Amino acid sequence: MTNTLDRLAPSESQDLVSSGPVDTERVADLVGQLLAAIGEDPEREGLSDTPARVAAWWRGFFSPEPSAAPTSFPEQHLSGQLVVVGGMSVWSLCEHHLLPMNLDVAVGYVPDGEVIGLSKFGRIAQQYAGRLQVQERFTRQVADEIAVVLGSSDVAVAVRGTHLCMSARGVRMEAARTTTLQAGGRFESDPVLSQQFLALATDRWRVA
């Protein structure tokens, strides 16, 4: 298992730009060429509609639902409480091999007078997963975006990834997992809070 730890960095504008529109007609044509190049007949039964299906998948993958405006709820008596939202599983594509990676995401934050609607965290994870990615950058992007939404750097994001580029090719180590952690604010300066977050965020990973 690979583990990386990083501090919460300022959001970079280029990270917020998703992929442009997908040219499904050209993608379908290229998939047909690929099938022919590997010795298949793209016109045979079973493959004749494959290029169009693949093109439609790429279009859907690069067009996640827009992240709605966050819904917040006033809660004036939550000083110092730790909130951890886990079990958010998203699929992304490794930009080095164009192979899928499954990312299990957990987010921690400390409310200050209000709490954020829980579905917002999942939508942010989906937003940054729907593009060519590397797990380390994805972890930082999710943390940066949540910090912006909260208006606070007291955010931590832990991600556990299963990468087909490692489990299905190359060394083919199916049990390999990569864990990344991005921490800022109190999660960086308060070791007790940091350990509490890690214990809650990674508990389900230890039995998975």
State how far Cα 167 lies from the chain centre.
18
Which percentage of the chain shows pLDDT scores above 70?
85
Q: Which of 38-47, 108-117, 171-180 has the highest mean pLDDT?
A: 38-47
- Pairwise pLDDT comparison (136 vs 168), residue with the higher score: 136
19, two tokens: 């992929």
Average pLDDT of the chain is: 87
Task: Give the residue-averaged pLDDT of 42-54.
Answer: 95
pLDDT over threshold 80, residue 27 = yes
- Please give the pLDDT value at position 16: 45
The tens digit of pLDDT for each residue in 92-129 reads: 999 999 999 999 999 999 988 788 899 999 999 999 99
Among the listed residues 2, 4, 196, 183, the one whose alpha carbon sits nearest the alpha carbon of residue 84: 196
Rounded distance, CA 44 to CA 35, Å?
11
When pLDDT is cut at 50, 70 and 90, the band that residue 140 belongs to is very high
3-class secondary structure per residue, 119-157: HHHHHHHHHHHCCEECHHHHHHHHHHHHHHHHCCCCEEE
- Please give the pLDDT value at position 10: 44
Among the listed residues 51, 59, 48, the one whose alpha carbon sits nearest the alpha carbon of residue 32: 51
Cα four-point dihedral sign 192, 194, 197, 201 = negative
Phi and psi at 78, nearest 5°, equal -120, 25
- Please give the pLDDT value at position 115: 85
The tens digit of pLDDT for each residue in 182-201 reads: 999 999 999 999 999 999 99
- Please give the pLDDT value at position 11: 45
State how far Cα 204 lies from the chain centre.
18
- Please give the pLDDT value at position 18: 53
| Residue tagged 């809650």 (tokens) | 200
- Please give the pLDDT value at position 183: 97
